[in-house]
Each structure stands twice: as C-alpha cells, then as structure tokens.
Structure 1
Amino acid sequence: MIVLVFVMVCGVYICSICLKQINTSTNTGLLTVQMIEKPCPEPTIEQWEIPYVHYPKPKTYSRAECACNPVRNFAILSMQRSGSGWFETLLNNHTNISSNGEIFSVKVRRSNISTIVETLDTIYNLDWFSSASKNECTAAVGLKWMLNQGLMQHHEEIVEYFKTRGVAAIFLFRRNLLRRMISVLANSYDRDAKPLNGTHKSHVHSPHEAEILAKYKPKINATLLIANLKQVEETTAKALEYFKSTRHIILYYEDVVKNRTKLIDVQDLLKVPRKDLKSRQVKIHKGSLSSQIENWDDVQKTLKGTPYESFLHADYRRRRRRRRR
C-alpha cells in the first residue's frame, strides 16, 4: 500500500511538470509569431526638409509596399473662378499626386476649427477617398481650398497647423480680375439657367459645351466695378500676409497658361518625378473682352485712367504682337 501511494504521488507530480512544460513551449511559439514592424529608412534629403516628409498610416487600409514611400502635404489656396479647377486636374494627372477637390465647400466641415482640423487629419493620413485617390504610391496629397471657406476666418490656427504638419501652400490667383469677374457672373447665371440640357457645369470638356456657355454676356455693374476689383485685391494681399510664414509658392493662372514650366516648379516643390501634365478641361471665355461683356462701353469708360485699365486688353497683347511680327 505504501509503495502504491508513493507511485501515485510521483505520477501526479510528473504529470504536472509535463503540463507546465507544454504551456511554456506553447506561449513561446505564440510570441515568435508576432510581427516586428521595421522603421522606414531615413530618406536622403536635407535636414531642413525633414518636417515636410511624412509616412502616413491610414486607419482604413494598409499601404503595404508603399508604407515607406514618403508623402508630402499641400493645399491649393485660391478664389472661385481663378483657374483652380483646371490647375487641380493638371496635378491629378500625375500618377503620384492626389488632390481631393474643394472639400470645405461643405459648410459643416468648416463650421469650427475642430472640424477643420479633423478633416485635414483625415486627408493627410490618406483616409480620405475621392476620384483623385491613386493606385500608384501617393507621394503628395492635398486639397483645393477657397479663401472664403473658413480659411481666412481661422487663419491663425490653420497657419499653425500647416507649420506643424509640414503643409506646403500653393497660392493660385488670377492677374486679370476683370476676366475673373466675367467668369463669376457667367457661372452664377449658368447655375440658375442651366443651358446645358438642364444641368449646371462649372467646367466643361468639349468645345461645343464651351461655345454654348460663352454665349451669355454678363452685364457688369459699372458703379461698383472698381470697388469690387479693389476688394478682391485686398483679400488676396491679406491671404498672402497671413500665410507668408508657411512654406509656399505663388502662381498666377495666366503665367501657368503661357509658361508650362510653372508646373515643373510645383512638381519640384512636392518632390515628385517631373511629368508632362495635361487636362481635359476646355476654356469657356476666349477672345477679346469687348465680345464678352454686354455693357462694354460703360466698363471701358469706368476703368480708363485707373490702375485697372490694363485689364481691358491684358492677356491678348502678346498674341497681337506676335501676329504683327
């Protein structure tokens, strides 16, 4: 009996030791399966450029092989009817650039600085999906932001955000503010009249559609003309003053149209491979201003002798000189 009890006790002891060993080996096996995330190698860039390089980790998907592909943030800051839509299509023609459109045209997204920051975080973390999203590795991500969409109202907080997140501001304005005014009035008319089969189109992709929209000739309030032009100038100057401490580039629509090397400057700013960028958009208002304004004589008399007189014939002087030659 004594021997039997001894054998039973030893058996229980040995079994308990075996169970502990099995648990230990199982835990060890589980630990070895865990993946260790390797840090991305430092890009070969200068020290001052480090704050502008990011490695986003989207919450909604994995960047996989693009995880260590650096991304730079940007924002196109402009005013309505200044060529920003056309300019953005050029950027989105690049396989490595994603510009997500006029996101803050939706009022709720710009209702306060908290919602603005939350939206910007989503965009720059590559969690914002739009038609601009790329299958290729994204190297630059941004949006189009009009000055009257909360940008000026919360400029101090946004400037600080741009500096903290390394956002490059791409200013795009129009030199000839009179032509911009024509575009604004024509677009407002189209929004109500909808001459293109009952649909409103801010931008068109065929000469036929452009010809239909160009038939409308707005009548400009000559009494308020100079005051309106001056107000746009002041808003532009104020925006440049607010954001002068950020990393930025200033472009004008007319310069981009005439000199496509301006697009190379933008690509160099965003550190993406240089490409010949194209857009499907077709220009609506072409030719001399006299053929585009209903009360041309009144406008001409109002601007003659003022600092804005050059707007009456600008954009076409160079073309006329070439013809004479």
Structure 2
Amino acid sequence: MAEEICFFTKDALIIKPPKKSPALLRMIVIVFAMVCGVYICSTCLKQTNTETTRKLLNIEVIERPCHEYDTDRSQIPYLHYPKPKTFSRAECSCNPVRLFAVLSAQRSGSGWFETLLNSHINITSNGEIFSVKERRENASSILRTLDMVYNLDLITSASKNHCSAAVGFKWMLNQGLIQYHKEIVEYFNNKGVSVIFLFRRNLLRRMVSVLANSYDRYARLLNGTHKSHVHSTEEASTLAKYKPEINTTLLITDLKRMEASTKEALEYFNSTRNIFLYYEDLIRDHTKLEDVIEFLRLPQMNLTSRQVKIHSGPLQEHIKNWDDVNKTLKGTAYESFLRSDY
C-alpha cells in the first residue's frame, strides 16, 4: 500500500493521500459497469414478463364462452356451445344451442311431430335413439348417449348444418325413461334440457294404432315391407284395411294402465322446464306448433310434414269387434273415445 506523506507548514500539519494506481481505477470502472448491466437486464426481464402475461390474459379472454350481452340472464342455463369431437363447428362455435327431448309413448303422433320439428331450419331431432337396447342398458349408458347427442356427436339423417340452434330426440316411456328417471331428471336439470311432453288424448285410437302396427311387423302389407309411417294416401289405405280385434275383457284395465304411465311420467319430470301437448290439439290448432317454437326460443317458421295419417275417419271403421267395444265403454269415463275423429 502506498504510504501517506506528512509534512508541516507554518500553520498546520498537512497529510496528503497517496495517488491511486491505474489498475485500481480500472477495477472500479469494471465493477460499476457490471452493476449497471445487472440492473438493466433485470428491468428488461420484468418488462418481458409483463408483456407475456398480457398476451396470456388476452388469449384467456378470447377462449371464454361466447354469451351474448343482451341475452336474458334467466336463459343462460339453457344455452350451450358444443365442441364436437367428430367435426369442428368453426364459424358456428359461438351460435348457442338449446337442448330438448320429446317424451312420448308409442303411436302417439311423435313420429309425425318430429318431422314437423325437423322441417324447421334450426332444429335437429335425431329420432328414437333409445330404441337401441345397448344405449339404455343402465343409467351410465343412458347418460353417455345423452352426452353424445347433445354434444352433436351423434350424426343421423336428421342432422342439419353445424349451426343448428336446437338439438334433441324423441324418447318413449318404455325405453329406460321411467326406470332411470332419477338420474335422467338430474341430468336434464343440470344440463338445462327442455322437455316436450306429447301424448294422445284418445287412448282407444292409440290402442288401435299399436295393434295394427304390431300386426304389420309380421304381415308386411306394403309389398313385403313394414312401415310405421307412410307418405301417401295409397299406402295409408292399404295399412288401414287391417282391423284389429280388441280384447274387451282387458280394455278398461289397459286404458287405465295407459293413463297411469302418462301420469307417472308427468310426476317424475315435473321439475324440468317443460311444455305439455296433446296430439289431437296439434291436429286441430296449428298455433300450438307456434307455442312449441316459442318454447324453444327459435324464430317462427311454417312447419310441414309429408306423413299421412293411417287411421282417419270414425273409429268404428277400424275396429273389427266395434259393437263389443262400444258396449264396453258406454257409460264409463272413456265413452268420449268412441266419438272422437282423432
């Protein structure tokens, strides 16, 4: 270390510090430069992290569900934005889809009603999907099938463009619907599925239709083929030639059983968002169809069907033992069934 130089003046003692060496000065400069460099780098890194975070936040906002700001808040639980695995909805990804199910019983007009729904450009109703037994073996298989339908991954002949605004199917009471009603009701309420009840008021006409359809499964009256629904008056006339004979001993019991199954379904699914329809009312009053479209919150359109009714006209023309049936129902709660043309 350099030694300090001391010397005296006339008035005081003065200590003069030694001169710094060039090596020491260079070291000080290097240390100062390193400190500045570290500070500058840390500042840049902070700015980079901030920009990255902003970009990530922007991406997160873009991927949020596309709810419309002017949508009635009470309707949001019923709006869905499916992401199918089988295709990409692309520009339709932000088009909301409503889920529905038509709950009915065989030969209650559900096939005709579904063709009306499918004539609407925004509706896809996939038919009787639970007629396949494997899909209704247990509650788990039912729920998996429902997920597939409502996620637009079940492609049927009724499927329209990927921008369908309502998607559903028809479900018969004897296809696991009653057996697993607790799980199904919970699913419907959690998913916001709207239920359309469709039943037939005249249970005697329904019975005639069930018996005739069951007979044709084996007789195959239309050129060796079986058809549950027809599209021409000629085909309808051919099928109507068969007149079933009704067991009058069990007639009242069977009618009560039909009524009970309808009542049971209404009780089980009462907690869902639903609308109740009678087939006969749809025939007489076409404004009932407007109610259905309004229920699904879709634009009104004229709904059409190519199906032709098979058993039209008075019932006495379609029952082989009409006199016995007439006698059995006279004076009972079911007497009105004898006079209905629907």
Aligned to 2:47: none
Aligned to 1:281: 307
Q: How does 1:258-273 map to 2 (within 5 A)?
A: 258-273=284-299
Calculate the aligned-residue CA RMSD, in Å.
Answer: 1.5
Aligned to 2:122: 96
Q: How does 1:65-144 map to 2 (within 5 A)?
A: 65-135=91-161, 137-144=163-170
2:314–2:340: 8 Å Cα contact kept in structure 1?
no
How far the C-alpha of 1:41 sits from its partner, in A, is 3.6
Tell me the amino acid that sits aligned with residue 250 of structure 1: F
User: Does the residue aligned with 1:117 lie in a helix, a strand or coil?
Assistant: helix
User: Does the residue aligned with 2:169 lie in a helix, a strand or coil?
Assistant: strand
Tell me the amino acid that sits aligned with residue 299 of structure 2: P
Q: Which runs of 5+ in 2 are unaligned?
A: 1-54
1:95–1:136: 8 Å Cα contact kept in structure 2?
no
2:312–2:341: 8 Å Cα contact kept in structure 1?
no
Q: Distance in 1 between the 2:88 and 2:306 partners?
A: 32
Q: Distance in 1 between the 2:75 and 2:299 partners?
A: 17
Aligned to 1:39: 64
Q: Distance in 2 between the 1:99 and 1:265 partners?
A: 17
Kindly provide the CA deviation profile for residues 199-234 of structure 1, in whole angstroms up to 9, marking residues without a partner as x: 000000011000000000000000000000000000
Aligned to 1:192: 218
Aligned to 1:21: none
TM-score with structure 1 setting the length: 0.85
Aligned to 2:172: 146
1:254–1:315: 8 Å Cα contact kept in structure 2?
no
TM-score with structure 2 setting the length: 0.81
2:263 matched to 1:234? no
Q: Distance in 1 between the 2:171 and 2:267 partners?
A: 17
Q: Distance in 1 between the 2:327 and 2:195 partners?
A: 38
2:275 matched to 1:249? yes
2:136–2:175: 8 Å Cα contact kept in structure 1?
yes
Q: Distance in 2 between the 1:86 and 1:41 partners?
A: 35
Q: Which runs of 5+ in 1 are unaligned?
A: 1-31, 317-325
4+ residue segments displaced more than 6 Å: none
How far the C-alpha of 1:315 sits from its partner, in A, is 3.2
Q: Distance in 1 between the 2:138 and 2:122 partners?
A: 31
How far the C-alpha of 1:274 sits from its partner, in A, is 0.5
How far the C-alpha of 1:182 sits from its partner, in A, is 0.3
Q: How does 1:300-319 map to 2 (within 5 A)?
A: 300-315=326-341
The sequence identity of aligned pairs, in percent, is: 67
1:81–1:184: 8 Å Cα contact kept in structure 2?
yes
2:315–2:341: 8 Å Cα contact kept in structure 1?
no
Kindly provide the CA deviation profile for residues 154-208 of structure 1, in whole angstroms up to 9, marking residues without a partner as x: 0001000000000001000000000000000000111010010110000000110
Q: Distance in 2 between the 1:277 and 1:102 partners?
A: 20
How far the C-alpha of 1:279 sits from its partner, in A, is 0.3
Aligned to 2:230: 204
Tell me the amino acid that sits aligned with residue 51 of structure 1: P
Kindly provide the CA deviation profile for residues 269-316 of structure 1, in whole angstroms up to 9, marking residues without a partner as x: 111111000000000001111111000000000000000000000237
Tell me the amino acid that sits aligned with residue 190 of structure 1: D
2:229 matched to 1:177? no
How far the C-alpha of 1:47 sits from its partner, in A, is 2.0
Kindly provide the CA deviation profile for residues 10-29 of structure 1, in whole angstroms up to 9, marking residues without a partner as x: xxxxxxxxxxxxxxxxxxxx
Question: If you compute each CA radius of gyration, which structure gives the higher value, 1 or 2?
Answer: 2
Q: Distance in 2 between the 1:167 and 1:42 partners?
A: 18
Q: How does 1:18-57 map to 2 (within 5 A)?
A: 36=59, 37-43=62-68, 44-57=70-83
Aligned to 1:23: none
1:109–1:115: 8 Å Cα contact kept in structure 2?
yes
How far the C-alpha of 1:135 sits from its partner, in A, is 1.9
1:175–1:254: 8 Å Cα contact kept in structure 2?
yes
Aligned to 1:24: none
